[in-house]
Amino acid sequence: MGLLLIRFVLMISATLFVLSVCGEAALLAPAKDPNGADYGDQDSQYGGSGGSGPTTNPGSETNTTPEAPVPGSGSEDDSTEPDVPVVEPEPDQPTDPSLLPQCKWVVKLKTGNGPYAPTDAAIAMEIELVNVLGLDLLRHPIYNLRWYGKGRKSYAAYFQRYNVDTFEFQAPCNPLFCKASFINTGTCRLPGWHLDWAEITTYDLAGNPSLPRRENVNMWLLNPQKKPYTRRVTIDFCTHEITPPRI
């Protein structure tokens, strides 16, 4: 009787041991859904330390971890666009006066009669023109009027006391001409000059003259002994305005 009791106790102990081992193994085994899909380690699915790689959805082997888009790869997520330089249109360049049709211009200048009125300086001229095609302002310089003098025997004979000197040169044809400037360069022994009046006549391509335009100036151009004076005077033959104004 005692021997049977000992066998019964041993059988119960063995059964309990087997059940405990199988239960622990069942707890450690990966979980499966009714369709047999393996969900893997729950800790690794949420980014825990137990995971060793990217997780997968049930029944799929596709990697679900989003990847950063590569710039310039053409991906729909690629919102980076290369900077395209904006090319601004170049402004219209003024026409070269020398490229315009040339016509004859005749300029007459009256020198004053005071003791310091004559000069042996180079007198320059600048004509302000309006380009009829582009309506932009053009400036045509004459660096030394003595080079274009008419009727005097020598270079030094111009701009003497009481003189009415005539100068003839080619410049752009322009019926809209209004302004001209006269500049005393002052590079001479007698720098002072008194300008009484100026007259300009323009010609067209057929050689027909315009009406002469004359303006009284009565100003000193660079004379330290006669103040006030200026190096440059601008005459508007259309409005009769002189800059700087007469004192």
pLDDT, tens digit only, all 247 positions of the chain: 566 666 676 677 666 655 554 554 444 444 444 444 443 444 433 344 444 444 444 444 555 555 555 555 554 454 444 454 444 544 444 556 667 789 999 999 999 998 889 998 999 999 998 765 555 678 889 999 999 999 998 988 999 999 999 999 999 888 778 999 999 988 777 788 999 999 999 999 999 999 999 999 999 998 777 676 788 999 999 999 999 876 5
How buried is 1 (Cβ within 10 angstroms: 0-12 exposed, 13-18 middle, 19+ buried)? exposed
Report which DSSP code applies to 214.
Answer: E
Class of domain 103-243: mainly beta
Distance CA 139, CA 100 (A): 12
Sign of CA dihedral 65, 71, 75, 79: positive
**CA of 148: how far to CAs of 58, 108, 158, in Å?**
102, 11, 11
Cβ contacts of residue 140 below 8 Å, gap of 6+? 97, 126, 127, 129, 171, 172
For residue 230, give both structure tokens: 């200026």
For residue 113, give both structure tokens: 């009669």
Q: What is the pTM of this model?
A: 0.59
